[in-house]
Amino acid sequence: MSPDMIFTSESVTPGHPDKLCDQISDAAIDALLREDDRARATVECALATGVVFLAARYAADALVDLPALARAVMQEAGYAAGSFDAR
């Protein structure tokens, strides 16, 4: 490494929105692959106050309830149902 460079890194805790989005996207991919091991998918997630944006494009012989899956991941991460619309 050059003496003129500065190395930095970032670490986030489990409840951080970036980590939560990764967990939701990973859970969606895992659910699709459980139902169809030949599934091809891309899932992107973003969070805003009170809203989860989930964009999925997939080719699979599978039916996954993505909103329910996202809610379950949020509850597992420690978000209480009262702090978001868990319906």
CA dihedral 22, 66, 37, 17 (to 10 degrees): 0
pLDDT digits (tens, 9 = 90+) for 3-57: 788 888 888 777 788 899 999 999 999 999 999 999 999 999 999 888 899 999 9
**Residue 57 confidence (pLDDT):** 96
What is this structure's pTM? Answer: 0.80
Strand, helix or coil for residue 66: helix
Q: Which domains does the chain have, with CATH numbers?
A: 17-77 (3.30.300.10)
**Under a CB-based contact definition with an 8 Å cutoff, are residues 54 and 42 in contact?**
no
